[in-house]
Each structure stands twice: as structure tokens, then as C-alpha cells.
Structure 1
Amino acid sequence: MEMLVFGDRGYPVILFPTSQGKYYQNKDHGLIDSISWFIDQGLVKIYCPATIDNLTWYDKSIHPAERARRYTWYDKMLHDELVPWAMHETGVGKVAVAGCSFGGYHAANYAFKHPERTGHLFSMGGAFDIKMFTDGFFNDDIFYNNPVDFLPGSNNPDLWQINIILGTSEWDICLNYNRQLSDILNRKHINHWLDVRPQAKHDWPVWKEMFPHYLSTVK
């Protein structure tokens, strides 16, 4: 698994790329530059892992059950390897997870599946219903990797301890996904911030404004 790491200390942040994006995408699009002050001050250490989108949800050559099974392996890698390593390197007992667009899905799925290891969730323009990629097929692997399905029935007490920010915007193509997830959280009385930015699109400029703002809430 290829990965870029920025910083040498601070709160560990797992930062996912957008749909089928490479591990260097967040750097190339300026998202890392937008938070350079936090890195330089030693407040955060950023881990930018690759994803396997092209082998999972976006791989139309395989059955949806296989897409979901492979994604379960990816989640296991995050939980059993990357997250423990990031906590070990930084000496922090939890991680923050973040991402833009489909990276927001990766971040939310990890946070809500593993709230005992997640201190912060920052989604920017995220979409959270994976069923758009499953061609009408549904099984347990899809259910447990689809936040809008498994979250309503989850009662892990650590869910109520996560600092959750759902960033979206007035012209965001994913605005309704964020409202849907916010409604689920509201029904569970889970505190969160649905941040709807005015007159902005689903694109990097607004995400680069959001991310440093959200990192400023990390304690």
C-alpha cells in the first residue's frame, strides 16, 4: 500500500483521496499546503494512504459481492495495520479520519465502524450511500460498509464521543447525502456540525477552505 506522510509528530490524521485518486492526490491539489501551518507546528501528522477503489466499488467487471468483500479487506488493513501504526508513531490513542468527495465516504465508514479508535471525522463534500455502486445487490458486507444502513442501529457509546464535521456547500452535488447523514445523527442525538458553505461547488477550492478550519477543532 503506497502512502505519503507529512509531519513528524502531532495528532494522527488519516486523509483519503477522492474517487480512484492516488495517494499523492491531496498533495497535488493543494490540500496539504492548506494545512501546512498545523504540520509545521507539530500539531498534526498526516497519513495519505492509497485506496483500492478501482478494485472494489468502481470495478464493474466483478460481482458486487466481490467488490464488497475486497473493500472489507481494505477496512481490515486500515484497522489492523495503518491506524495502530499511526497511533504508535504519534503516541495518541485515537486518530482523525478525513477526506473529500469519495474520500469522505472512506472516512465516515471507518469512523462509524470503529468509533473506539476515532476521535475526529472531517468529511468534505462526502457521499455516504454505497448502494449506488452495487447494482441492486445487497448482502452483509455491503450493509456493514454503508454508513446510512448500519449507523441507525449502532449503539457503540464511542459514537457519541467523536468530533464530527460534515462539510458541504450550497451547490455541492453531494449536499443531500450530507443532509441525510445529518438527519441520522440527529435522530440518534449524536452531536455534529453540518457545515453548508454558501455559493460553492463540489470542488477543491471550498475543501481547501474547510480543512484548516476543521483541523483547528482538534484537541
Structure 2
Amino acid sequence: MIIRYYNEYSRHLGRQMEYKVYGHKGKPVLVFPTSQGRFFQYEDSGMIEALNGFINDGKLQVWAVDGIDWETFFSTDWDNLARIYRHEQYFNYINEEIIPSVLRQSRENNGSDQQLLLTGCSMGAYHAANFYFRYPWAVDTVVALSGVYSSDYFFGGYKPTEIYLNSPVDYLRNNNDAFYLDRFGKSRLIFCCGHGAYEDEMRDETHALQRVLTDKGIPAWFDYWGAESKHDWDWWQKQIVYFIGQIL
């Protein structure tokens, strides 16, 4: 497997940001880490090994990006607005720096334009969903595992505009833009959660998102695994292999 490491300056974040790329061609996959996780977490936790067959066969190429959740959603040093403003800088970093680079590299590797697959586990699932629902134009697939989808989980009931716009359950409920709804309807949206240990809150959040998407007429696959399926990497490895196998 070809693995490349990058350490590049981000103009939006004002610092160096690291990421790794796995594979030589295939559908481009952008992976977000879990809460306070780093760009190497996906590999260290066995997810790249689980996807090894897809990557080596040239069916997937994976970009694992860094997070800054310790400065934003999980910061104890900054007030709520400062935290969400910092997240907006991260949002712009992904949208305006990472995604154009991924699409450019993918076009070169595959010989044609490709649409992105966004994925992540736990907090990474939140990021995958939030980035897609806010700006879906370069993305046609989301695989979100054991995520939360409301800002209440991080900010309680405090919801000024800046936080509201990062709370998918809330802003989707009020999004009647035909342009967005048409795009959502043409994408493959997969949300999975287990019934095992430490999945209760994530399951409630996933059900809440399911109700909103159903009410809006947005097709999505919601899959709830059994009592043995817990909030941990061994199950996320099984889930990502299963869902990627259904997609490709």
C-alpha cells in the first residue's frame, strides 16, 4: 500500500496541519478522527487495515485529516462563541484547502473527476454529517458511525446562529431549499449505531436525525446493530467494511 504523509501550513488555521493518504487510486474517502483524535488515529486503530483489500485493489483512496476538537467542541479554555468561531476556521480549512486538494489528486490518480465519501466514527461521524449537510456539492456519500448530530451535546441549550449552523438536527429541520434537498436526495447517506456499551446517547441522536430526514423526505439508510455492537473500534472496523462493501 502506498502511504504518504503531509505537513502543510493552513492559512485558515494559521498553523501547520498534518494528514496521511493511503492508496494509489479509487473513490476518494475523507476521514475525520474521533473526539480529540489525530490524523494517525484511523490507521493506529485498525481501520486502514480493515479496508486494506479495497485500498490495495484501487477501489478506495483514503485521506485521514487532523482534528482540532480540543480547541473547539471540547475546549475548557475558551467561551462558547470563541470555540465555535475556531471550528468555523476548521470548517473553512477542510472546505477550501483539503477538499480541493483531495479532488485534484483524485482526478490525477483516476483520470476523471470523482465525488467524495465522508466518514468518521463518534465525533468523526458528527463532522462527516455536518460538513456534508452544510456543503454537499463535492460529496455523494456519507458513512457516519456512532455519531451525535445536535449541538446540545456540546453547548447545552445555548444556540446562537453560529452554533445553530453546526447543529444538523436543527438546521436540517428548517432547510427547505430545493437545491439542497435535491442534492441530498441524490446522495448515499448511511448512519449506523449499535445497541451495546456506550451507544445510548449516540443511538438517541441517530434516531433524532432519522426523524428529521424522514420528515423532510430525504432518503437515508439507518442501520442499528445489536446489543453486542459497542462504541469501539472493533465494531467500527466491522461496520465500515460492511458498508463500503455495499457501496462499491
Deviations 1:29-55 (A, max 9, x none): 101111111100111110100011011
Deviations 1:118-157 (A, max 9, x none): 1100011111112222254321111111111111222312
- The structure with higher relative contact order (CA 8 Å, sep 6+) is 1
1:99 aligns with 2:120: yes
Hey, what does 1:82 align to over in structure 2?
98
- Which residue, 149, 156, 176 being the options, matches 1:128? 149
- Which residue, 178, 187, 190 being the options, matches 2:218? 190
Q: Within 5 Å, which residues of 2 pair with 1:159-178?
A: 159-171=184-196, 172-173=199-200, 174-178=202-206
Hey, what does 2:139 align to over in structure 1?
118
TM-score by length of 2: 0.85
- Tell me which moved more, 88-97 or 54-63: 88-97
3-state SS, counterpart of residue 201 of structure 1: coil
Tell me the CA shift for residue 27 of structure 1.
0.6
3-state SS, counterpart of residue 116 of structure 1: coil
Structure whose CA Rg is larger? 2
Tell me the CA shift for residue 163 of structure 1.
0.3
- Which residue, 56, 59, 64 being the options, matches 1:48? 64
Rounded to whole Å, the distance in 2 between the matches of 1:104 and 1:14 is 11
Moved over 6 A (4+): none
Cα RMSD between the aligned structures? 1.2
1:108 aligns with 2:129: yes
1:32 aligns with 2:48: yes
Rounded to whole Å, the distance in 2 between the matches of 1:78 and 1:218 is 24
Kindly provide the amino acid, as one letter, of the partner of residue 34 in structure 1.
A
3-state SS, counterpart of residue 21 of structure 1: coil
Percent identity between the two aligned chains: 27
- Which residue, 213, 232, 237 being the options, matches 1:203? 232
Hey, what does 1:158 align to over in structure 2?
183
- Tell me which moved more, 169-178 or 25-34: 169-178
Query: Structure 1: which 5+ residue stretches go unaligned?
Result: none
